[in-house]
Amino acid sequence: MQDIYVKDVRSVKGTRVDFSLRLASQKTLSGLFSQYTDESFEFSKTGVKVKLYHYNVDYVSRSQARRILAGLEKFKTVELDFKDVNTVGQAFADEIFRIWQGKHPNAKFIIKDANENIMLMINRAQT
């Protein structure tokens, strides 16, 4: 076991981003750019994994939707991945697919791994 120690660290304002890549990774820089940029190499696409971090908690409220949407107005295309999410509430879907989408009509959602229950709520919010 390595020694554990404590030291003072200078506080820096802003956002810290950590990045790691396996040495044997097949990913390429051109692949990354083609996945998240448009023809002018502007980073205009992002992906958001909608994931439940607590057991037996569903996405039902507008405030939960707003937390997921924070900062996404900067992108033209947003991929929402609902893998392992069983259902979402009407208010949650309405906040994303009617309210937010109405304020950002040029943004496009790509829905991934949404089951029948989630698609029902999304379709209701969009009509």
The per-residue pLDDT for range 17-40, each reduced to its tens digit, is 677 778 898 888 888 778 777 777
**pLDDT reported for residue 30:** 83
Half-sphere exposure of 63 (CA within 13 A, CB side): 0
Instruction: Give residue limits of the domains in the chain.
Output: 44-126
User: Helix H segments across 5-112?
Assistant: 29-36, 62-69, 90-94, 101-103
Mean pLDDT of 50-73: 78
Count how many residues are written for the chain.
Answer: 127
101, 110, 103: which is closest to 77 by C-alpha?
Answer: 110
The hierarchical CATH code for the domain 44-126 is: 3.30.750
- Name the more confident of 41 and 111: 111
Cα–Cα distance, 75 to 32 (Å, whole number): 16
pLDDT of residue 57: 66
pTM above 0.85, yes or no: no
Q: How confident is the model at residue 50 (pLDDT cuts 50, 70, 90)?
A: low
Structure-model confidence comparison of residues 113 and 58, the more confident one: 113
Report whether pLDDT(115) > 90: yes
Give the model's pLDDT for residue 11: 77
pLDDT value of residue 55: 55
Number of Cβ within 10 Å of residue 123's Cβ equals 11
pLDDT of residue 53: 52
The whole-angstrom separation of Cα 124 and Cα 90 is: 8
DSSP string, 8-26: ------S--------TT--
Average pLDDT rounded to a whole number, residues 35-58: 69
